């Protein structure tokens, strides 16, 4: 738990790693959704549900968690 509400970054139009991964892995139609969400700030609840679905479908959330764990290990090793 990071102490953040689900969807806060999306609603604020932040381009996070899961968004980047889902965009890069998405179809042309899915990329159009991301562009509209980010550029036009279309970030309502329906958009959030679609965004979460796309990030899940393309493994973006799992990959981000994996990368965070990897870099956490590197940081711990550097402090040892």
CA atoms 73, 78, 79, 80: torsion sign: positive
What is the dihedral angle through the alpha carbons of 60, 54, 7, 47, rounded to the nearest 10 degrees? Answer: 160
Residue 75 domain-assigned (yes or no): yes
Could you tell me the pTM of the whole model?
Answer: 0.83
| Position 21 in a domain | yes
Residue in 35, 48, 63, 39 with CA at minimum distance from that of residue 9: 48
Q: What is the pLDDT, as a whole number, of residue 41?
A: 85
pLDDT score for 37: 92
Residue 43 inside a domain? The answer is yes
Whether 1 is covered by a domain: the verdict is no
CB atoms within 10 A of CB 22: 27
Residues of the chain with pLDDT under 50: none
Given this model, what pLDDT does residue 31 score? 97
Does a structural domain hold residue 52? yes
In a domain, 2, yes or no: no
Q: Is residue 30 part of a domain?
A: yes
For the chain, the domain total comes to 1
Give the domain range for residue 67.
Answer: 8-79
Nearest to 50 by CA among 63, 68, 32: 32
């Amino acid at each position: 738990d990071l102490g953040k509400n689900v969807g806060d970054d999306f609603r604020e139009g932040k381009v996070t790693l899961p968004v980047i991964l889902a965009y890069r892995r998405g179809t042309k139609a899915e990329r159009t959704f991301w562009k509209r969400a980010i550029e036009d700030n279309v970030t309502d609840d329906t958009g959030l549900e679609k965004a979460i679905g796309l990030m899940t479908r393309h493994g973006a959330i799992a990959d981000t968690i994996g990368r965070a764990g990897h870099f956490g290990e590197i940081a711990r090793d550097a402090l040892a």
